[in-house]
A and B are shown apart, each in its own frame.
Chain A
Amino acid sequence: MTQGIVTPLTQALAEGKLTREELKFFMRRSDGPALRKLCLWVFALAGTTMLVTLAWDSWLIWPAMLLQGILLVHHFSLQHECVHYTVFRTRKLNDIVGQICGAIIMLPHRFFRYEHCDHHTHTQLTGKDPEQIPMPKTYGEYLLYLSALPYWKTKFTEVTRHALGWLSETEKRFIPKEEHAAVYRDARMMLGAYVLIFAGMAVTGWWGLIWYWIIPLLLGEPVMRFVRMTEHVGRPAVAQMSDNTRTNLVSAPWRFLCWNMNYHAEHHYVASVPYHALPRLHEKLRDHIHVEPRGYLGAHLDILKQIREAWT
């Protein structure tokens, strides 16, 4: 092999969409921005936790838990950035924070890293992309996906399988043999930690984590499914990055929550660019990618329109 494979980045450089100097500038990393943002993040979590506490004896606990859940499920976005080692310049910090996020949302970090690498290799290619969310054929399928029931079923099955020492054929394709045992160990440790937490609650009789963590997570996950659908669903199942991925222009609170991952096409073009540089990268690539100016809602209107048109 004397020539590198063609990636979206090599294409962007070859076509002059991006210069090497710009690339180097965008890729610059530091610990500061993410540490500052993490302080805000913890502050926001403390705020929603306070709301749940204040609403404890009233029906208002449900909207409070939903708010808490929306924040909790967005640990996925932070974990996703950590998977790419772009949150912190200090590499170890990415591993530590990624593992904490994974424990909160039941997504073992090492496994997710391997799976996500394969997603970047085979983005939106049916049968190859392990993270592809299928385009719903009916409104029923659409709503079922948004309920997050299929998601949780898949995740529980996945972690249990790994804890039992089983990998699917697809997983064996993207996880190297020398890492199989580590993936099994991670799943066992994660399930073991959950069992200990529940045992601790049973022993102490304090079931607060059900209300601060578990129910909010279940209430919030449909929001994360809603967000995740906007990235690729409804875009063509082709290798061309300018077509298969959607960037959604969303408001500042959503950008805060998703760590700028709404700039999804830019992220797929140059996955080495940290979250805080993605808005600037967007200015460079905006004419070469698919942009949904109406944000997440616009993306869903597009998906619903495609479902409707498939039936007429």
Chain B
Amino acid sequence: MSDKPWQDAILVTDLERGWVTRVTVGRRPVAVYDTPSGLYASLALCNHGGADLCDGYFDGHVIECPLHQGAFDVRDGKPVAAPATRPMRVLKLRVRDGMVQVRF
């Protein structure tokens, strides 16, 4: 079991429906995804070129980097399109009393 605490990210009601929402948790930019199978979260910056994934195209479970269109599956971070080759870091997520919480 992780010792890292859950941290509040954003109210569920403030999320962009069916899209990706950028939030800052502590000092870290985090992307929260509203998908057909529930909410997921990852670090917001692409591990290829460092662009902000929250400005990218989001469709179903795939987030696409706005700079090069490299893409990841937000459920497990798996890269699904070049030039992304390494998995992105996904975060544990839960909802408590209408608040999205993440754990690094």
Using CB atoms and an 8 Å cutoff, list the residues of chain A in contact with chain B.
1-5, 7, 9-10, 13, 23-24, 27, 29, 83-86, 89, 91, 110, 113-114, 117, 120-121, 174, 176, 178-179, 270-272
**A272, B57: Cβ atoms under 8 Å?**
yes
A248 to chain B, nearest CB (A): 23
Contacting residues of chain B (19-71) with chain A, CB-CB under 8 angstroms = 19, 27-29, 44-46, 49-52, 55-57, 59, 62, 64, 66-71
A117 to chain B, nearest CB (A): 4
Chain B residue, CB-CB nearest to A5: B50
B50 to chain A, nearest CB (A): 4
Q: A-B contact count, CB below 8 Å?
A: 77
- Bound state CA distance, A31 and B67, in angstroms? 22
**A85, B29: Cβ atoms under 8 Å?**
no
- Bound state CA distance, A84 and B28, in angstroms? 28
- Bound state CA distance, A10 and B65, in angstroms? 12
Contacting residues of chain B (49-104) with chain A, CB-CB under 8 angstroms = 49-52, 55-57, 59, 62, 64, 66-71, 80-83, 85
**B66, A24: Cβ atoms under 8 Å?**
no
- Bound state CA distance, A176 and B66, in angstroms? 19
| Shortest beta-carbon contacts, A-B, top 7 | A4-B52, A117-B68, A5-B50, A272-B57, A27-B57, A117-B83, A176-B85
- Cβ 8 A contact of A91, one of B44, B68, B81, B85: B81
**B50, A85: Cβ atoms under 8 Å?**
no
A51 to chain B, nearest CB (A): 37
**A5, B85: Cβ atoms under 8 Å?**
no
- Bound state CA distance, A212 and B71, in angstroms? 38
- Bound state CA distance, A29 and B62, in angstroms? 13
**B55, A9: Cβ atoms under 8 Å?**
yes
A176 to chain B, nearest CB (A): 5
**A113, B82: Cβ atoms under 8 Å?**
yes
- Cβ 8 A contact of B83, one of A13, A24, A176, A272: A176
- Bound state CA distance, A140 and B29, in angstroms? 52
- Bound state CA distance, A10 and B56, in angstroms? 11
B19 to chain A, nearest CB (A): 7
Chain B residue, CB-CB nearest to A273: B57
- Bound state CA distance, A65 and B68, in angstroms? 36
Chain A residue, CB-CB nearest to B20: A24
Q: A83: which B residues are within 8 A, CB to CB?
A: 69
Q: Can you report 6 residue pairs joining A to B where beta carbons are below 8 Å apart?
A: A2-B27, A85-B71, A120-B67, A176-B83, A176-B85, A271-B69
**B81, A110: Cβ atoms under 8 Å?**
no
**B59, A271: Cβ atoms under 8 Å?**
no
Q: B57: which A residues are within 8 A, CB to CB?
A: 27, 29, 272
- Bound state CA distance, A86 and B29, in angstroms? 26
Q: A7: which B residues are within 8 A, CB to CB?
A: 51, 55, 66-67
**A179, B69: Cβ atoms under 8 Å?**
no
**B69, A85: Cβ atoms under 8 Å?**
yes
Q: Could you list 6 further interchain pairs (A-B, Cβ under 8 angstroms) beyond the known A4-B51, A271-B68?
A: A2-B27, A2-B29, A5-B67, A176-B85, A178-B85, A271-B69
A16 to chain B, nearest CB (A): 15
- Bound state CA distance, A13 and B66, in angstroms? 12
